Amino acid sequence: MTSPTAPADESILAKGYAHPEALVTTDWVAAHLDDANVRVIESDEDVLLYDVGHIPGAQKVDWHRDLSDQVMRDYVDRTAFETLVRRLGIDTNTTVVFYGDKNNWWATYAFWVFQLFGFPNARILDGGRAKWEAEDRPMVQDVPTYPASSYVAPERSDARIRAFMDDVRQHLSAGGKLIDVRSPQEFTGEKLHMPDYPQEGTLRGGHIKGARSVPWARAANPDGSFKDAESLRAIYEKEKGLRKEDDIIAYCRIGERSSHTWFVLTYLLGYDHVRNYDGSWTEWGNTVRAPIETGEEK
């Protein structure tokens, strides 16, 4: 885990997180809109939202085009990531703040991809796009440009925070803990996708054998901000029995919702061994003889 290097916001400190420096408030972003050492990055499920309006000075990172390999189902390699970061005018001295729609699903996803390359100073805007809009803060349509940086990317390091299917199988054999962050209907097998989305993408419904159901949205307040640490511990530790020292793998359908839970466990609660299985249910549910269960959590 790479922790941000800038000091934490006072109001974030009050929420009791293990790594409060990983979050900033809307007030903090508003106060740093003209700070040359800060870059704001919008990453959304709806890739057209940025064009409708965005935080002044914010740049867009398209999760499909910018973060994903365009041929293989994988993330960009070192060269492509380096090109992206240079184009954004970012280097390791820049404080990068991610925000987006869906209570920061894709913002935490982009943050997670940046951590595959060990980027040292990334943060999440607590509450994301929804909170910024709800507070009637300024939105613009002009697209900013910044001088290209000379950032040099390291090789991508997956093992620390990413799990592949073979890792999940080994994890299950060793009795490791697995968190399914999808909706209850997806967990039971009633639906193949989130409610109100096309029911497509997998041949089988259900969940990975032995997984525990903790829908990602339980970690969020109604305004999209993260619940405080005490409330999060009540969910993950008192209710589900997780411990800080546990080896945990989180998954959803394609890895974006589980990146939100990965962020919560890693940065807000300070867990040391959390990986995101980005193959998630689209891989597991389509794999011959992968062990599946249906129905509610046992």
**pLDDT by residue (tens digit) across 5-24?**
556 778 899 999 999 999 99
Token pair of 48 as six digits:
């057209």
**Average pLDDT, stretch 98-115?**
96
Q: Is 124 a catalytic residue?
A: no
At 89, give phi and psi (nearest 5°).
75, 30
- Give the rounded percent of residues in the chain with a pLDDT score beyond 70: 95
Dihedral pair phi/psi, residue 170, rounded to 5° = -65, -40
* Residue 142 predicted with pLDDT over 60: yes
pLDDT the model gives residue 162: 98
**What pLDDT was estimated at residue 6?**
56
pLDDT at 203: 80
Please list, in sequence order, all residues whose beta carbon lies within 8 angstroms of the beta carbon of residue 123, skipping any fewer than 6 positions away.
Answer: 4, 6, 21, 22, 23, 24, 95, 96, 97, 98
* pLDDT, tens only, 216-246: 999 999 999 999 999 999 999 999 999 999 9
- Please tell me which residue in 23, 38, 252, 265 is annotated as part of the active site: 252
Contacts of residue 256, defined as CB under 8 A and 6 or more positions apart, other chains included, come to 45, 63, 105, 106, 108, 109
Q: What's the pLDDT score for residue 28?
A: 96
Residue 83 confidence (pLDDT): 98
**How many other C-beta atoms can be found within 10 angstroms of the C-beta atom of residue 19?**
17
- Amino acid 285 reads G
Q: Alpha helix locations (H) across 48-137? A: 49-52, 78-87, 105-116, 128-134
Percent of the chain with pLDDT over 90: 85
The rounded distance, in Å, linking the Cα atoms of 271 and 249 is 12
- Sorted by where each starts, the structural domains of the chain and their CATH numbers stand as 10-134 (3.40.250.10), 165-293 (3.40.250.10)
pTM assigned to the model: 0.95
> What is the pLDDT, as a whole number, of residue 195?
74
Query: With 80 as the cut, is the pLDDT of residue 197 above it?
Result: no
- What would the mean pLDDT of 190-219 be, rounded to a whole number? 85
pLDDT, position 199: 63
- What's the pLDDT band for 2 if we cut at 50, 70, 90? low
pLDDT tier for residue 201 given thresholds of 50, 70 and 90: confident
The dihedral region occupied by 241, where left means phi > 0, alpha psi between -120 and 50, and beta the remainder, is left
Neighbour count for residue 105 (Cβ, 10 Å): 23
What's the average model confidence in pLDDT over 119-126? 95
Residues 253-288 as b or e (16 or more Cβ within 10 Å = b): bbbbbbbbbbbbbbbbbebebbbbbbbbbbbbbeee
Determine the average pLDDT of the residues in 103-114: 95
Q: What contacts 76, CB < 8 A, 6 or more positions away? A: 66, 67, 68, 69, 84, 113
**What's the mean pLDDT when you consider all of the chain?**
93
Q: Is the pLDDT of residue 147 over 70?
A: yes
Rounded (to 5) percent helix, strand, coil in the chain: 30, 15, 55
pLDDT tens-digit series, residues 248-271: 999 999 999 999 999 999 999 999
Position 168 pLDDT exceeds 60: yes
Cα separation, 245 vs 62, whole angstroms? 34
* Both tokens assigned to 201: 């993408």
How far is CA 120 from its chain centroid? 16
pLDDT score at 4: 60
Query: Residues 6 or more apart from 34 whose CB is under 8 A from it?
Result: 57
List, for residues 24-45, the tens digit of each pLDDT value: 999 999 999 999 999 999 999 9
Give me the pLDDT at residue 258, please.
97
Q: How many residues does the chain have?
A: 298
Instruction: Provide the 10 A C-beta neighbour count for residue 294.
Output: 12
Q: What separation in angstroms does the CA of 54 have from each of 26, 139, 288? A: 13, 5, 43
